Amino acid sequence: MTKQLYLKTIKGKGRGVFCNTAIREGEVIEVCPVIIIPAKEFAALNATALMDYSFYFNKEENTLSLTMGFGSMYNHKQYPNAVYILDRRKKQMVFTAHEQIDAHTEICINYGGEYGRDYTKWFIDRHIVPV
């Protein structure tokens, strides 16, 4: 059965991703293809709002990726209910439930890529007050 993900506006956060049905711990939420931004275009992307929606594809090579689907719309939470794994070979991002997620509950990830990582600096650098 296909999950029915949807966006909803959240006061103080902007838009967030939700699901019409419950998602079990360990269940794949979404597999998103990624568009790879080469290192030579890093500075140009960094000068746009799209930078806030990108992920490093390969940090050492300074390449970024834009995640399609709902992938770039998940909000941050230090202790999120979902995690993501970048599959560089398949050029896709896989989002999985870290815990049971009830229907109509916001699905959040940790922008630092590590469960529990404090990512406050990311928000401060963008003049955003984390919620």
2 pLDDT above the threshold of 60: no
**What is the CATH code for 5-124?**
2.170.270.10
Across 12-34, b (16+ Cβ under 10 Å) vs e yields: eeeebbbbeeebeeeeebbebeb
pLDDT digits (tens, 9 = 90+) for 33-83: 999 998 898 888 878 888 877 888 888 888 889 999 999 999 988 899 999
Q: How far apart are CA 128 and CA 113, in angstroms?
A: 19
